[in-house]
Every structure is written in C-alpha cells, then in structure tokens.
Structure 1
Amino acid sequence: MASSKSEYVFYAPIPSGPYNPQPQQNVVVLTHYRPTPDYCCQRSLRLCISITTSLLLLSAAVFFLYPSDPTLQLARINLNHVRINAAPKPTLDLSFSLTIRVRNRDFFSLNYDSLKVTVGYRARELGVVSSDGGRVRARASSYVNATLVIDGLQVLHDVFYLLEDLAKGVIPFDTDTEVDGSLGLLFFRIPIKARASCEVYVGTTNQTVVREDCYSK
C-alpha cells in the first residue's frame, strides 16, 4: 500500500510584464486648509452688504406701503355776499362757496364717509356744512364743492370787533375742514382722519378773499 507524503509547494508571484501590469495605488495627503485674512474680509463684507440691502428693501417697503392720513387743502373760497343788518339787532348775512382738495398719498384707494367744513368768526362758530362721501384713487386727488349760507346770525357779542373790522375793510374768518374715511389695504379697512384749518381775510368792498393762511393738523 502506497503512502502519501506531504510536500511543500512554493508559490511565486507572477512577474509583471507588458502583458500583466501590476496595479499601482496612489495616496494623496491633503493638508488642513486655513483661509487667508483677505478671504475672511471679503466674506464678512459680502455678508454685511447682503444684510444692509435687505434692511434697505424692507425699510422702503414699509415707507411706501404704510398708510398715512390724506392731506386737505382749501383750493378755492369765494364770498358770495356779506351784509350787516343793524336793526332791530346786529345780525350778519353771508354766503361762502368753497372747494376742498382731498389728496390721497398712499398706494391704496381712499373711501371717505363725510367731509365737514366749519366757518367761524373770532373763535366763534358761525355755521357748518357737510358733504356726502366719495372715493379717491391711489396717489390721486379729488375736489369737493360746498356752499355755506348764513342768514340772520346775531353778532351782539362781537359787534365792537365787527364794527372795527368793517372800518378796516377786511373781516377775518376761520375755516376748519375735517374728513373721515377708511383706507383699503388688501382685505382690511384702516380708519383714517384728516383735518385742516385756514384763516381767511375777506374784503368788504368787493367781497373777495384778500389773504388766506392754511395749515394741517
């Protein structure tokens, strides 16, 4: 019976040649990147510019879209007639024709419910006239006409001032204009109110306005 005997076998690597190339492994070692000071400054500058631009755009949007009250201006005032009645009591008859300019400075339409004009003499109310509501387009103006007629107004308390003004030929009146309404902002209605006062000096000879000084409140 034949017995087997273990034999040691040596395996040699296959020699590399043009037909059996050996794969090569390349290792790339990257060093830690440290940004330069110029790069950090440029990055901070870009960040500051972006934040500043965003704030400017936000401020501009708030400035243009934030609702503001309309402006009122006494565009025209004419004294139709004025007469002093001495007997039996000192009374005053006068008639005014006024044109009020309502200017909407916002980018949304303005709906006003009423416009009221009060005419006074030396801090005393003579009469009030009001008009119906209306609508003013965005960034536009609207003109409202009103007529005030006063007959038989007793001026007993101011008779001395009235006689003095008649001697000068000029009677000072003061007008107070007020408008109430709402501003349409998308689905919301923002209530607004505007008021303007004027001092009007009317000549008694030709019944015309000599001078007027107006200011908003």
Structure 2
Amino acid sequence: MSSKHSTASIPYAPLPPPPPNAAAVVVVLPPYPRHGGFRLRRCLGFSAALLLVAASAFLLFPSDPAVQLTRIRLNRVRVSMSPSLTLDLSFNLTLRVQNRDLFSMYLRSFNVSVGYRGRELGFVTTEGERIRARGSSYVDTTLDLDGLQVVHDAFYLLEDLAKGVVPFDADAKVNGVLGILFVELPIKARVSCEVSVNVKNQTIAHQNCSPEELFHPSPVKS
C-alpha cells in the first residue's frame, strides 16, 4: 500500500508598515554580571601597594642617632677665693653615637657643655665624622675651663664646696645630615647628664644620664 503526502501552501500576508507618527520602542537588557575575580584581584593589588608603601616608609624614614655618654673622667676641679671666686674644671668625655638608619650619616659637629645649677659654664665643639649604616662610633673630647669667674651662684658654690660634692650638668649635642638620593635630611641627638664631683678626692661621685628625642626640620635638597 502506498500513501501520498500532499503539502498545501498557506498564503502569507506581510505585516503592514508602522504608522509615521509611531514612537520607537527600545528594549534595554540588564548588564551581564561580571565574574568576582576581577574585584578580588583589584583589592589584593591595592592591599599589596599599601603594604609596600608602609614597609618603605619604615625602612627609609630617617631616625635620629642614639647618643650615649659612656665615660666621664674628672681631670681636676679647683676653686680659688682670691682675688675673686674662680673655678678651674676639666673633664674627659667619651660619646658613643649609633646610626640606626639604613644609610650612612655624616655628623657635622659634637657640642659638649657643662653647667652649674642650670647656668652654662662653658662648652667645647668637636668636628664630626661619617658613620656607616647601622654602625656606631666613639668620640673623645676634653673640656677645660680655667679661671672661670663665678658670680651669680657663688653662694651655692661655696655651700656645695663645704659639703665636699659639687653637682654639674653635662649636655652633649650631635648635629649631622643623612643623605638619601639627592636629599639631605638634618638629624640631631642630645643626651643630658647630672654629674656630682667629689672635690676632696677629685673623682666622680655620681652620674645620671638620659637621652632626649629631638624633632628634625623639613628636608633640604642638596
């Protein structure tokens, strides 16, 4: 048995053209969601940049050197009453300067002064030297004061002489620069000591030192 299939054609009528005043219809599709990996990579990159900047600031930001007055030796102390009250005083001092930075520093000067009851008696200035990165240096200096006339605190000096012990103030300052690329950064350090001198046996009876932190000013281009 054979079967025949017949295909009937259905007439198709084209759509009528839109009217001339009809408004155009625009269909806006929602944006395709991006993968979250891009945002994660961006956050990780930003965090890594912050850590790098913090590490660089920690390693490169200059810090003032550490200064210690490691040794004070009394050479002489002598008081004369005639014709006026005068003081002869001599100290040998040893300073230890430690560079805590990753760059070498040049210390321009060391200034050591001695005072009595808050009033400076005299000072000595020594030329500095270069200290390598993370290194330290020892500086020896001698402070001689001969024939120093004591006027303002003569009464207190006579009273301390009667006790046999005279308290002095020793102050050491360091000035220098730290060179980073083309910029020189000023650095300073200071240490203050209270030194009691036994005038009978010409020795140091007591000493107490404390470092002081100093703020350095703005960088200066070389």
* TM-score higher than 0.5: yes
With over 3 angstroms needed to count, the CA separation of the structure-2 counterparts of 1:52 and 1:209, relative to structure 1, is farther
Structure 2 counterpart of 1:203: 198
Q: Is the 1:183–1:191 contact (alpha carbons within 8 Å) kept by the matching residues of 2?
A: yes
1:62-77 map, 5 Å: 62-77=57-72
SS of aligned partner of 2:140: strand
- Pair 1:110-2:117 in alignment: no
Q: Which amino acid aligns with 1:177?
A: A
Q: Which residues in structure 2 correspond to 1:173-212 (within 5 Å)?
A: 173-206=168-201, 207-212=203-208
What whole-Å deviation, never above 9, does each CA across 1:120-172 have from its counterpart, x for those lacking one?
11122111111112111111111111001111111132121112222333211
Q: Alpha-carbon deviations, 1:41-91, whole Å to 9, x = none?
A: x77666544433331222011111011222222111111111111222111
* One-letter amino acid of the counterpart of residue 160, structure 2: D
Which runs of structure 2 are paired with 1:92-131 in the superposition (5 Å)?
Answer: 92-131=87-126
**2:28 paired residue number:** none
- Residue equivalent to 2:77: 82
Are 1:215 and 2:205 matched, yes or no? no
Deviation at 1:173, TM superposition (A): 1.1
1:139 aligns with 2:106: no
Q: Number of aligned pairs?
A: 182
Instruction: State the distance in 2 between where 1:62 and 1:186 align.
Output: 15
Kindly indicate whether the alpha-carbon contact (under 8 Å) linking 2:193 and 2:207 is maintained by their aligned counterparts in 1. no
Q: What SS does structure 2 have at the residue aligned with 1:89?
A: coil
Residues 49 and 159 of structure 1: is their aligned pair in 2 closer, same or farther, counting only changes over 3 Å? same
| TM-score, normalised by the number of residues in structure 2 | 0.72
Amino acid at match of 2:137: S
Q: Is the 1:171–1:202 Cα contact (8 Å) retained in structure 2?
A: yes
Larger radius of gyration: 1
Is 1:163 aligned to residue 161 of structure 2? no
RMSD between aligned residues? 2.3
Q: Distance in 1 between matches of 2:180 and 2:163?
A: 51
CA contact (8 A) 1:77 1:209 kept: no
> Which stretches in structure 2 are left out of the alignment for 5+ residues?
1-30, 215-222
Q: What is the distance in 1 between the residues matched to 2:55 and 2:157?
A: 53
On the 8 A contact 2:104/2:178 being kept in 1, the answer is: yes
| Residue in structure 2 matched with residue 58 of structure 1 by the alignment | 53
Give, in whole Å, the separation in 2 of the partners of 1:34 and 1:211: 74
Residue 97 of structure 2 aligns to a residue in which SS?
strand
